[in-house]
Amino acid sequence: MSTEIKDLEPGYLFGHFASLLRIPRESKNEAAAREFVLAWAGEKGFKTGTDDVGNVVVYVPATPGNESAPITVLQSHLDMVCEKAPDSDHDFEADPIPAYVDGDLVRSKGTTLGADNGIGLAAAMAAAEDPDCEHGPLELFFTIDEETGLTGAFEYDPSLLKGRLLLNLDSEDEGTLYVGCAGGGDTTITLATPSTDVPSGWTPVLVKVGGLKGGHSGLDIGTGRGNAIKLLARALHAGAASGDFMIGCIGGGSKRNAIPRDSSACVFVPSDQTGRFTENVAAFTDIARLELGNADPGLTIETSNDPCECKPMTGQASRALLRLLLVIPHGATAMSQDIPGLVETSTNLAVVKREDDETSVLCNTRSSVDSALEALRLAIASAGELAGGKVKLDGKYPGWRPNLDSPLLARCTAAWKEMSGNEPQVAAIHAGLECGVISEKAPGMDAISFGPTIRGAHSPDESVSIGSTGRFYDFLKLVLKGIAHG
């Protein structure tokens, strides 16, 4: 097997993916990726359309003899989650993704890979130019800012799309056809955390939580992995059990849809209590490791007496913030009554950050039951209000209700059986897909989502299987051929 990503098979797909690895495309910074698509379409002679928010549609004519086939929309998003390991100096705005081949996998050194959703984007482009791909008219629909709020899907111009068959190429389990997804929404709590002077005889103690797996706040939320912010709060509570404390700087997490892997805080305590504080944190570390077990065995919680230039918040504000972080829920709160093993409702305590005299806390909540989603967001908002914070509820997006009688599902099921000899798994996913949002603005849209095997999305452990990608692409071509032949 080649060690050059551009030379992997299928060649058209991995050639485009290798190009994407060199293009900055963090959410809300997709301009270069959009220009890449438009330039490619121009070279191929394909017509294009864009809307006011920056979404792109590439109109691909049918292969000869299939002009009367229904239009199929191949949909992916341009952006990627940009997460990196604590020791990485990678600049996502300038540096290529340091991807490499590791056996059957493509990985990245210390950063997210962007296979979510770069593989789907590359597959759509490949299908448009591959002479072995037989298809009817295609609309390649590439949206912006999926990862931070499905902005492109929410604000797209529906006049861009004529097709009513939607193949979303943004799933991560080979052989699974997704027909539904959870809805979600964000809750931001802002606390006043006014600064004060360091009391005489008090010492800063730096507490760092790390070594966690993190992962996708939907797909991985039910795995029992640790949340670095929750663990930091518990460590501070354990450390300060012996006396007074004031929190200085505090930070953890960076993305609403990624489980926090790292967090840290500078805590000021009376100098004669620093020894007991550190001992208590060390004792809690053993407890936390026991709780996490094999779900997240790499946990580290370290303390140090390094100098810190930050100013502490008042003791009252410190206690209010700590109690808030302790009481906000994290993880799966309900399982589906209809689909065994599927998380129905969950929430991710995603980000905490102090700037000047305010500290913000961001939570991302998901559910396939709208009333359950609102109930959990209400609980989080109430906790914020009880702590004296300002609460903002936003970023809500709808779920996608399964339609098991979908003709497109029947066609995809038949194609998978023809290719593999097995029945595909038909499932809903506890994550946000753009299908529901897009379909709301396109009456009569019939949608399915599928993709290759991707693991560790939204974390530096992200990888994509090369063999699975090949089978995913073969399946896509078979589905398109079936649609073309009616």
Secondary structure class of 437 (helix, strand, coil): helix
SS (H, E, C) 198-228: CCCCEEEEEEEEECCCCCECCCCCCCCCCCH
Chain centroid to Cα 1, Å, comes to 30
Residues annotated as catalytic (active site), given as ranges:
79, 146
362 neighbors 188 (Cβ within 8 angstroms) = yes
Helix, strand, coil content of the chain in percent (nearest 5): 35, 30, 40
Return d(Cα 233, Cα 474) in angstroms, integer.
Answer: 48
221 neighbors 332 (Cβ within 8 angstroms) = yes
Token pair recorded at residue 167: 């193949």
Count Cβ atoms below 10 Å from residue 206 Cβ, excluding itself.
Answer: 17
Which amino acid, one-letter code, is at 109? Answer: K
Return d(Cα 409, Cα 329) in angstroms, integer.
Answer: 36
327-342-400-362 Cα dihedral, nearest 10 degrees: 20
Return d(Cα 364, Cα 350) in angstroms, integer.
Answer: 7
Helix (H) or strand (E) holding 444: none
Return d(Cα 289, Cα 259) in angstroms, integer.
Answer: 17
Return d(Cα 328, Cα 348) in angstroms, integer.
Answer: 9
Which amino acid, one-letter code, is at 353? Answer: K
CA pseudo-torsion sign 386, 430, 168, 401: negative
Helices 466-485 and 115-129 sit at what angle, rounded to 10 degrees? 50
Cα distances from 410 to residues 174, 190, 287, in angstroms, run 17, 48, 50
Cα distances from 109 to residues 81, 131, 213, 291, 380, in angstroms, run 15, 34, 15, 29, 36
